[in-house]
């Protein structure tokens, strides 16, 4: 089993090296290996599957063009997930800015601060009913309110099941800080989802 894993890892490294030299077919194999995880992470961060697939696709394209910056081919996975995470967060920010602007426009006051985002994601909006579908919607809405690092740590570790070391590599922080961020995220979500738990 370990040998098979090693062989798979070596094949991936070979594909990274080939792709770095411009072999698109080798890169296609890497896409097929990581597409589910990439789309999944983007979806957890964006809560919209169309946006998630677009961002994940963009992440792969950027990864291909910047493969030369990846010093260690064995770290392709975490490196790719960092690209996916960063692009997703950037996309969220631009989307939120547009959304807030739109809501402000609708409100007609044009002021900043207590924008519509907070109103939409208030605790009252989360407390719908204790059904699992609604619970998932509430988790998703609660995630939206977490700070980026806490949200990412929770999604990558608790939702996607990645190893803490890998999450630390993606977040570019220590493993201890990953644990702490996961704890902080749990603590806040626990408060936000009080009526569901």
Partner 1 sequence: MRSEEINPNDPMFLVSRNLDGELTGAEQSRLAKLLSESPEMRREAEKYCELNEALKSFGCSMPDVDFGDFSDRVRQSLGSSEDDAQLVEVDQAIQSWASKPVVFDEERFTAGVLEQIGESRSSTSRSRSILFRIGMPFAAAAAVALVWIGGFRNEHQPRRVADVQIGGIERVATHISHGNTRLASVVSFDRTPVETDRSTRSGGISLSFVGSLRAELTSSEVAPPL
Hey, what are 123's tokens? Answer: 């605790």
Q: Yes or no: say if 81 and 170 are a contact pair by the CB < 8 Å rule.
A: yes
Stretch that binds partner 1, among 28-36, 79-87, 89-97, 105-113 (CB under 8 A): 28-36
Among 17, 24, 96, 97, interactor with partner 1 by CB under 8 A = 24
Instruction: Give whichever of 14 and 160 is closer to partner 1, judged by the CB atom.
Output: 160
**Residue 152: burial class (beta carbons within 10 Å; 0-12, 13-18, 19+):** buried
The yes or no reply on residue 21 touching partner 1 (CB under 8 A) is: no
In sequence order, the 6+-apart residues with CB closer than 8 A to the CB of 52 are 39, 40, 42, 43, 45, 46, 88
- Using a 10 angstrom Cβ sphere, with 0-12 exposed, 13-18 middle and 19 or more buried, the burial of residue 116 is middle
Residue from 99, 140, 144, 195 in contact with partner 1 (CB under 8 A): 140
Residues that bind partner 1 (CB under 8 A): 24, 27-28, 31-32, 35-36, 39-40, 43-44, 49, 53, 57-58, 60-61, 64-65, 132, 135-136, 139-140, 149, 154, 157-161, 164, 174, 176-177, 179-183, 186-187, 189-190, 193, 196-197
């Amino acid at each position: 089993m370990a040998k098979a894993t090693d062989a798979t890892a070596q094949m991936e490294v070979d594909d990274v090296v080939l792709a770095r030299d411009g072999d698109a077919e080798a890169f296609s194999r890497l896409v097929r290996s990581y597409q589910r995880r990439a789309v999944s992470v983007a979806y957890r961060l964006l809560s919209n599957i169309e946006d998630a697939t677009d961002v994940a696709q963009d992440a792969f394209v950027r990864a291909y063009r910047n493969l030369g910056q990846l010093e260690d081919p064995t770290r392709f996975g975490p490196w790719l997930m960092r690209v996916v995470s960063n692009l997703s967060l950037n996309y969220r920010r631009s989307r939120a800015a547009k959304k807030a602007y739109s809501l402000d426009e609708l409100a007609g006051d044009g002021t900043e601060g207590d924008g519509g985002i907070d109103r939409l994601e208030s605790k009252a909006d989360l407390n719908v009913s204790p059904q699992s579908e609604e619970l998932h919607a509430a988790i998703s809405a609660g995630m939206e309110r977490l700070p980026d690092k806490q949200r990412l740590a929770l999604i990558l570790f608790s939702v996607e099941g990645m190893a803490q070391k890998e999450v630390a590599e993606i977040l570019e922080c220590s493993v201890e800080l990953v644990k702490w961020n996961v704890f902080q995220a749990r603590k806040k979500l626990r408060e936000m989802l009080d009526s569901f738990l």
